[in-house]
Structures are given as structure tokens and as C-alpha cells.
A = this chain, B = another copy of it.
Amino acid sequence: MDPTPHLEWLADGDLLSVPGWRGAGIRTGVKESGAPDLALFQADSPRPAAAVFTRNELPAACVLLGREAMARRPELRTLCVNSGNANAMTGAQGRADAERIVELVERHAGGPALAVSTGIIGVPLPMGLVEPGIEEAARSLTAPCPQLADAILTTDTCRKTCAVEVELPAHGGQPARVVRVGGMAKGSGMIHPNMATMLAFVATDAPVEAGALDGLLRRATDASFHEISVDGDTSTNDTVVLLGGPSGAQDITGGDPRLPALEAAVTAVMQRLARAIVLDGEGRTRLMELRVTGAADTASARRVAESVARSSLVKTALAGGDPNWGRILAAAANAGVPLQGAAPSLEICGHRVFEDGAPTSYDRPAVDAAFSAEEVQVVLHLGLGHGAARRWTTDLTAEYVRLNAEYTT
């Protein structure tokens, strides 16, 4: 194993901390609140790009177009995000509107372009507001631009950005070099692995060959955005994009000795953004880190972890600060994963509460106290094999219900 490289986090870092990128975040009026609702960001030249899209079976037009564009050529220069309207479930008109946005972005700012929408489902995009907004944003590109990360938000209560520096080792005649990885994300509800109403954009100035970039994105997503769950719903518009540095003679490839340091930085940025999403989960008061170990395989571990992470009974117990481990085990056993021969043991905040099929004589007051903290750790060991998975999940509170019952989102 490579030693973990030193990561230097930048104060107030974001995607525009990466050299070569500029952005704009403007108000078009699509959001009735008057908050910024159109983000445009651009590199000084086309960049290799990789993307992961929602697995929802009725994806928005922007996801369909994005998949097609990335399949044609994995390269992007300009990205546009409109928030407040997801342009999802909007039929042929929605597809035409999404194509028109890409066309306008390429005309006014330069392509290749990717356009992403997030917000309310099933309402036609007010193109009369969006079209002039694109023109205005294309004229306003700057760096830094804090409003950029604001303009991609919907029900979020805070901006989600970070950036890091890492040194890549010398290789192939190139000297050692410090590169940056920076990103921004949005997401607060409809959050579940594979994925959720979540968008994330991460850029680096490290030159990476397109195939290596794609593999890097998929591994880093598995270790970050696929580990969080707010409400078990996967949205129609989820998109994660990773953008490499300008191509040169010595781009990083799959087996490159510089890749591990870069991957550590990309993964760290994505994990920080994923954690910011779950911390901002709708109505959240507590956070549970759940690890499932000893499953028959990774897929089983993930299914068990997801069943626990989305259980309403586990999430309400978390809201109440109640270390109700029976609900955790019942939810784990409700994943459709065979547990015959399993010898489950369960640890809550470091206390072994269940072992050999029965409760231990654990220190109940200590567990009660530990579980009422804002962040709690749960480890479920199944004793079947070597499969492991981790999930971060929020509690289910009356405030979550209020937010989602009283507002159309």
C-alpha cells in the first residue's frame, strides 16, 4: 500500500481554487425566493471529463443528454447548472429545453458544454428566464466567485465546497508537482446511494487520461457519495462530474505512480462534500456512521447497510437518541440477504451490545449517553465472510416531515 499522501486543505477552497477555472452564479428568477439559481463555470480550455449519473429509471432530460455527450466525447469546457426546476418528467418539451440550454451555453461561453438541472419535478422550465440568464452568466465569469456554489443549491441550508493540495511524485521526466483538487456539491433531501438529488462537480489541474479519470471517479464515488443516505429516495437528476487538468504529453494513466496521490486527494474532496450533504440533511439533528463487516461479499454488505440506513424505525430511534439495537438488527435482517449461519455482533459507540445471538450485559447508562451524541457509530459484524460497507445516515425527525409535507419540492 502507498502511504497516505499529505493533503493540505485550502481555507475557503472551492472548484475555482483549481487554476484555469472561472465561474458565475446569478439570479434568473426561476427561484421565487430570489436566491441565485444559475451557475456557469468554465475552464480556459476543454478538459477530460468523467461523469456518474443517477440510476433512477426515469431520468431527467439533462441526464439523458449528459450520458450521450460523455459517450460521444469525454471532454468538457463549460458546465451550467440551473436550480429551482429539475426539468424532469417534462416529456419532449423538456428534452428540447435541455438541448436549447446546451446550445446557448456553447454559443455564449464555448463548448463542449454539459447542462444540469435540479429542483422541482414535472414543471416545464421557464425558458424565458433561463435563456437571458445564460447570456448574463457567460459575461460575468470570474474567479473567485462564491455565488457559484450558492447557485446550485435547492433545499440546502449552506454552501458545500472544499479544495485541497497534494504533491504528485516525479515521473517520466516530469518533476514532482503540487496539484489542486477542488469541488462543490448540493444535496439535502432525496439522498440515497446511486444516488440522490445531489450534484457534485470536482476539478483538478492534474493532467489525467480520460480512461484513468473515469476509473478514478467511480472508485471515489463508491467511497463517498454512494455511502450517504438521507431519506432513501434516489432522484431523477443526480450527477457527479470529475474534470481533469489540461492534457499534455505526460497525462496520468491507469498504472501511473502519480495516480494514488491524486486519487487520495479526489477521494478526500468527495468524502468531505458527501459528508457536507448528509450534515445538511433535511431536518437532521443526528448522524449515524454505520459499518457492516463480515458479510458474505461487498454487495451483501451494502444491501444490509442500506436496509438499516433507510429504516424509518432506526432513523426515528436515532432522532430520539434511543440505542434501540433491536431495530438495527431487525432492519439488517430485512435486507433480503440470507443470514443463515451468521453470528451477528453489534457495537454501538464502542460498546458491544449483542453477541452470539443474544444481548450482552452491557453498560446501559453508558450506551444511552453515548448514543445521545450528535454523531454515533454503529458496527454490525455478520461473521459470514469479508464483505464490508459503510453508510452515513441522518435521523428522521418531525422537522423532516414538516419540510417535506408542507412544501412542494
Contacts and interface: CB of A to CB of B under 8 A. Distances in A.
A354 B89 contact: yes
Contacts of A316: 400-401, 404-405
Contact of A326 (B122, B317, B331): B122
B358 A120 contact: no
Given A56-B334, A333-B58, A357-B89, A396 B121 contact: no
Interface stretch (A76-84, A207-215, A233-241, A258-266): A233-241
A120 B236 CA distance: 38
Contact of A57 (B93, B311, B339): B339
A112 interface: no
A231, A313, A319, A339 pick with most chain B CB within 10 angstroms:
A313
A59, A92, A359, A406 pick with most chain B CB within 10 angstroms:
A359
Given A319-B405, A358-B92, A57 B122 contact: no
Interface string A313-343: 1001101101011110111111101111010
The 7 A-B pairs of least Cβ separation, nearest first, read A91-B358, A121-B326, A320-B405, A316-B404, A58-B333, A398-B398, A57-B339
A198 to B, nearest CB: 14
A402 interface: yes
Interface string A92-109: 111000000000000000
Contacts of A324: 121, 408
29 contacts: A56-B333, A57-B332, A57-B333, A57-B334, A86-B326, A88-B326, A89-B326, A89-B330, A89-B359, A91-B357, A92-B358, A121-B326, A122-B325, A232-B312, A233-B331, A236-B330, A236-B333, A312-B312, A312-B404, A313-B404, A316-B404, A319-B401, A320-B404, A320-B406, A322-B405, A322-B408, A396-B405, A397-B405, A400-B401
A363 interface: no
Contacts of A405: 316-317, 319-320, 322, 395-397
Contacts of A396: 312, 401, 405
A233 B334 contact: yes
A111 interface: no
Given A340-B57, A404-B317, A358 B89 contact: yes
A36 interface: no
Interface in A374-409: 395-398, 400-402, 404-406, 408
Contacts of A123: 359
A338 B57 contact: yes
A339 B58 contact: yes
Tell me the number of copies of this protein: 2
A235 B330 contact: yes
A180 interface: no
Interface string A152-193: 000000000000000000000000000000000000011010
A90 interface: yes
Chain A interface bracket (under 10, 10 to 19, 20 to 34, 35 or more) = 35 or more
**A interface, over-half SS:** loop
A83 to B, nearest CB: 16
Contacts of A233: 311-313, 327, 330-331, 334
A356 interface: yes
Interface of A: 56-59, 86, 88-94, 120-123, 189-190, 192, 231-236, 310-313, 316-317, 319-320, 322, 324-327, 329-335, 337-340, 342, 344, 354, 356-359, 395-398, 400-402, 404-406, 408
B56 A327 contact: no
A281 to B, nearest CB: 11
A333 B192 CA distance: 14
Nearest to A95: B357
